[in-house]
Structure formats: C-alpha cells, structure tokens
C-alpha cells in the first residue's frame, strides 16, 4: 500500500518534513518511488509567484531540446534550480543527467491573453514536451505551472531525498503533497508516481481504483487534451476533480457527490436529492468503487481528504492553527506535528470531505448529507 503525507503551513517548510514523515511510515511502503508536489512556494521561488515553473528530469540531449523548444516559443528562463547528482545512484534509482526546476518568463505575445487561455497553453506546452520526451526518453515532465514544483523519482523516498539534496534552502513550500511507493500494481513507470497534476490541481491516492477503465474511457472521450497519461489508475482522481471544477464549474462540495454518490434510496431523503440524482446519472461513469483515500490540493491551495464510500483506506488529519497535516498513518502525523491536540484529529468517513483552507486555521468538515451551499 502507498503511504501519503501532506502538510499545509503558514510558514514555508522543507520537503524533508514530509519525507521524514513518510520515512516514519516506512513499514507500510516498499520504497519503490517518491513523488512531491510543492505549491505556495517559499524560499527563492517566492519571488516568482506568477511565472510558470517547469519541473522534470532531462538527459543532456533533452536539455538542449528543451532549450530550443522554449526559445522557439519565446519563453525565457528567469531562475533555475538544477540538480546534477554526483553521488553514486541509490539502488533501484536510474542514473539521470539533470533534475530541472526552471522559472520562465511568459512570451511577450501571451500578454493580454485571458487567464483561461494562458492556462490552456501552459498545459499544452507541458503535454508537447512530454510527448517529445517519450520518443527518446530524453525528458520527463511533471508540471509547468506558476507556483508549483514537482519532483518524482524511483527509489526509497528518504534515500532519494538525500541523493538529490532536497534539504537545500532554496526549496521550501507552504503546501506539500508527498507519496511513498509507486503504483506497483502496474509496471514501474515514473509517470505512475503520485501526486498527479493538471492545471493547478493535484491529488494522490491510497489504494487501487477498481473502476479505472470506464472512468478513463469517459475522461478520454471528453476531448480535453489534458485527460491523458493514465500510467496509474489513480491519475483519474486528479482529472475528475479538474473536470468537475473546470468543465462543470462545480465546487469541492460536489466531489464526493460525483465519485461516491449517495445511494438511490438515500437520495430520496436528501434535501437536494433531485439535483443529485440527475448528477449521479449524468456522471455515472465517474463513480469509483474504492478502496481509496484521496488527498489533494486545489488551485486556491485548499487541501482536502476524501474516502470512498465503502472500503476506505486509512487517513487522518490533524494539527494546530497555522499548520495541519494529512497522513495515511497516525505515526506520520505524530512525527510531523507532535505538539497538537490529538483530540481534534479527524479521520474522515464515507460521507465526509475534510478541507483545510489556505488560512490554515481549522479543520473544516462537510458531510454529503448537508444541503448544497449554492445550487445555481
């Protein structure tokens, strides 16, 4: 099983905090991979809140191809943080040439474009680069988005972190998602490593998604180029979230109603049952069947945790005003935030959504039985 740890803090923290928490939970993951999603960045990157950051792994040829491609598009590098590890590669980790985090300046001709258009173009650049890299394995692209850094590698999380030197001071963030172990139900592929990212939102998941194929078919047939990849069955959780927010214009309160709708006889008793029944029918192919605990981060930096409607996976949320953490195991949370009131810890159940807003003041809990806040 995967181990998940996420932290959201008013003061930027090093990714090592998350990785140490993962290490505490080591008994539960096989150390076959690590993934990090950092946003609401601190350190050096704080100065570049609005410029897109490219995260990926490149061979030496890949870097040259990247430069040519980005220059053609008129993207200029504003700041970069590259790791070229000189230490021997840890066992199980492939030898890579360059781990790249680069901040770009937008092309001049993008000025005046709508936010939506800019976001679409950023996604397309990411997809094009990924496609270019897939041909000769010269590039692995994880994200291209303002205020977002992603790092992924195959291997034991802490060993990889030490190998890459992730404790460097330039690297810190207020919101971090981290996952230990890849989705090893499928072949080991770095793109199968959680968290997954699409246009500002990211999720990671514990457990297998048994309804994967029909969900994937539904998403892929929406004719949106970002609904692609699917090296892992958990990637659909990010894309369902994206579809809900960006295509259906719905808020986070509807996520559970889409992936785990109430049963037919429950809907009869729900104050918004009629609308929810229509939604359940229209989004029927997006219903999941667990066992899944999904932890994610929205573009407004709100962090959330939800469970499937039946089988559930472990997941706990706790902290104190200013800092909260989401962990798949209690010991991870204990290691990260020992000085908290454990009585306020929360383990969301089948109907619940737990969120921590960017202000990081309290654990907010929603229930699927609640009336919907704003229907239309």
Partner 1 sequence: MESMGRITPSTLSTKDLPWQILWNKEKCTLCGGCTAVCPVRAIDLGVHRKRSLQIPVGLETKPGNLFAIYHGIDQRTDPAHACVGCGMCTMVCPNGAIAPLHIEGIDKLRFHVNQGGEPRRRGGRRNNPDSVLDKIKFVRISMLTDPALDAGRHEFELRTLLGRVLPPEEMLKVSRENGWMPPVREIYPLVIGSMSFGALSPNMWEGLQMGVAYLNEELGMPVRVCTGEGGCPPRLLKSRFLKYVILQIASGYFGWDEIIHSLPQMKEDPCAIEIKYGQGAKPGDGGLLMWYKVNKLIAAIRGVPQGISLLSPPTHQTKYSIEEAVAKMIQSMSMAWGFRVPVYPKISATSTAMAVLNNLTRNPYAAGLAIDGEDGGTGAAYNVSMDHMGHPIASNLRDAYLTLVKLGKQNEIPLFAGGGIGKNGNLAANAAALVMLGASGVQTGKYIMQAAAGCLGSEGDRCNVCNIGVCPKGITSQDPRLDRRLDPEQVAQRVVDLYLSFDTELKKIVAPLGRSTSLPIGMSDALGINDADAAERLSIKYVL
Residues that bind partner 1 (CB under 8 A): 185, 207-208, 210-214, 217-218, 221-223, 247-249, 260, 263-264, 275, 278-279, 281-285, 287-291, 308-311, 376
Largest CA distance in the chain: 63
Q: How far is the CB of 241 from partner 1 (least distance, A)?
A: 14
Name the 3-class secondary structure at 360: coil
What burial class does residue 79 get, using C-beta atoms within 10 Å of its C-beta: 0-12 exposed, 13-18 middle, 19+ buried?
middle
Nearer to partner 1, 154 or 262 (CB): 262
How many Cβ atoms from other residues are within 10 Å of residue 165's Cβ?
12
Q: How far is the CB of 89 from partner 1 (least distance, A)?
A: 28
- The label of the residue with tokens 């990411």 reads 126
Q: How far is the CB of 223 from partner 1 (least distance, A)?
A: 7
Q: How far is the CB of 181 from partner 1 (least distance, A)?
A: 12
Nearer to partner 1, 68 or 310 (CB): 310
Nearer to partner 1, 2 or 337 (CB): 2
Please give the Cα distance from 160 to 83 (Å, whole number): 12
Q: How far is the CB of 312 from partner 1 (least distance, A)?
A: 11
In contact, 161 and 14? CB cutoff 8 Å: no
Residue 88 backbone phi and psi in degrees, to 5? -60, 145
In contact, 296 and 177? CB cutoff 8 Å: yes
Nearer to partner 1, 208 or 352 (CB): 208
Please give the Cα distance from 30 to 132 (Å, whole number): 31
Residue 61 backbone phi and psi in degrees, to 5? -65, -35
In contact, 158 and 180? CB cutoff 8 Å: no
Spell 40-62 as b/e; 16+ CB within 10 A means b: bbbbbbeebeebbbbbbbbbeeb
Nearer to partner 1, 47 or 247 (CB): 247
Nearer to partner 1, 208 or 329 (CB): 208
Q: How far is the CB of 193 from partner 1 (least distance, A)?
A: 16
Please give the Cα distance from 362 to 235 (Å, whole number): 28
Nearer to partner 1, 241 or 303 (CB): 241
Q: How far is the CB of 294 from partner 1 (least distance, A)?
A: 15
Q: What is the CA radius of gyration of the chain?
A: 20
How far the first Cα of the chain sits from its last, in Å, is 40
Q: How far is the CB of 66 from partner 1 (least distance, A)?
A: 33
Nearer to partner 1, 76 or 248 (CB): 248
């Amino acid at each position: 099983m995967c181990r998940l740890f996420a932290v959201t803090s008013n003061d930027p923290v090093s990714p090592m905090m998350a990785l140490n928490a993962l290490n505490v939970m080591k008994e539960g993951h096989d150390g076959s991979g690590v993934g990090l999603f950092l946003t609401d960045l601190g350190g050096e990157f704080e100065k570049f809140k609005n410029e897109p950051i490219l995260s990926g792994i490149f061979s030496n040829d890949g870097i040259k191809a990247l430069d040519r491609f980005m220059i053609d598009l008129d993207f200029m590098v504003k700041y970069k943080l590259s790791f070229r590890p000189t230490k021997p590669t840890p066992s199980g980790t492939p030898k890579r040439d360059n781990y790249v985090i680069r901040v770009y300046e937008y092309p001049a001709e993008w000025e005046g474009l709508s936010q939506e258009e800019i976001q679409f173009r950023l996604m397309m650049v990411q997809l094009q680069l990924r496609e270019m890299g897939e041909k000769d394995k010269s590039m692995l692209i994880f994200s291209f988005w303002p205020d977002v850094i992603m790092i992924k590698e195959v291997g034991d999380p802490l060993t990889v972190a030490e190998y890459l030197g992730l404790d460097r001071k330039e690297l810190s963030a207020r919101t971090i998602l981290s996952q230990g172990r890849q989705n090893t139900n499928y072949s080991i592929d770095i793109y199968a490593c959680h968290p997954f990212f699409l246009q500002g939102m990211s999720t990671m998941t514990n457990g297998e998604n048994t309804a994967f194929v029909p969900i994937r078919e539904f998403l892929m047939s929406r004719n949106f180029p970002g609904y692609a990849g699917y090296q892992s069955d958990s990637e659909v959780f990010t894309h369902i979230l994206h579809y809900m927010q960006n295509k259906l214009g719905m808020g986070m309160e509807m996520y559970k109603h889409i992936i785990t709708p109430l049963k037919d006889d429950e809907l009869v008793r729900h104050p918004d049952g009629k609308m929810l029944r229509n939604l359940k029918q229209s989004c029927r192919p997006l219903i999941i069947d667990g066992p899944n605990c999904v932890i994610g981060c929205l573009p407004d930096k709100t962090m959330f945790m939800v469970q499937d409607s039946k089988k559930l996976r472990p997941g706990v949320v706790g902290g104190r005003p200013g800092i909260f953490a989401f962990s798949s195991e209690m010991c991870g949370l204990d290691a990260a935030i020992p000085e908290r009131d454990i009585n306020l810890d929360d383990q969301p159940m089948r109907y619940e959504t737990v969120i921590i807003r960017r202000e990081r003041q309290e654990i907010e809990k929603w229930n699927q039985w609640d009336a919907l806040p704003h229907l239309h």
